[in-house]
Amino acid sequence: MGRAPALLSFLLHILFLLGRVRCSAVAALGRRLPPSTDGVCARLIRPLGYPCSEHAVETEDGYILSVQHIPYGRRALAKKSGPPIFLQHGLFQGGDTWFMNSAEESLGFILADSGFDVWVGNVRGTHWSYGHVTLSENDKAFWDWSWQELAQYDLLAMIGYVYSTTNSKIFYVGHSQGTIMALAAFTMPNVVQMIESAALLCPISYLDHISSRFVLRAVGLHLDQLLLTIGIHQLNFRSNMGIQILDSVCDGHMDCNNLLAAITGENCCFNGSRVNYYLEYEPHPSSTKNLNHLFQMIRTGTFAKYDYGWLRNLIHYGHLHAPAFDLSKIPDSLPIWMGYGGTDALADVADVRRTINELRSKPELLYIDKYGHIDFILSVKAKDDVYGELIRFFRSQGWPSSY
What is the C-alpha separation between 144 and 139, in angstroms, rounded?
9
Give the global pTM: 0.91
Inform me whether the pLDDT recorded for 153 exceeds 50: yes
Cα-Cα end-to-end distance for the chain:
65
pLDDT in tens, 198-246: 999 999 999 999 999 999 999 999 999 999 999 999 999 988 888 888 8
Active site residues: 176, 344, 373
User: What single string gives the DSSP state of each residue in 222-237?
Assistant: THHHHHHHTT--EE-T
The phi and psi torsions of 63 (rounded to 5 degrees) equal: -85, 145
Residue 77 or residue 278, greater confidence: 278
Q: How confident is the model at residue 256 (pLDDT cuts 50, 70, 90)?
A: confident
Q: How confident is the model at residue 38 (pLDDT cuts 50, 70, 90)?
A: confident
Q: What mean pLDDT value characterizes the chain?
A: 90
- Over residues 41-63, the mean pLDDT reads 97
Residue 91 and residue 122 in contact, taking contact as beta carbons nearer than 8 Å: no
Report the pLDDT value the prediction gives residue 77, as an integer from 0 to 100.
65
Helix (H, G, I), strand (E, B) or coil at 118: strand
Report the pLDDT value the prediction gives residue 205, as an integer from 0 to 100.
96
| Residues facing 197 on adjacent strands | 171
Residue 331, judged by CB atoms within 10 A of its CB (0-12, 13-18, 19+), counts as middle
- Over residues 363-388, the mean pLDDT reads 97
Report the pLDDT value the prediction gives residue 30, as an integer from 0 to 100.
31
DSSP state of 99: G
pLDDT in tens, 91-107: 999 999 999 999 999 99
- Over residues 68-87, the mean pLDDT reads 88
Report the pLDDT value the prediction gives residue 170, as an integer from 0 to 100.
97
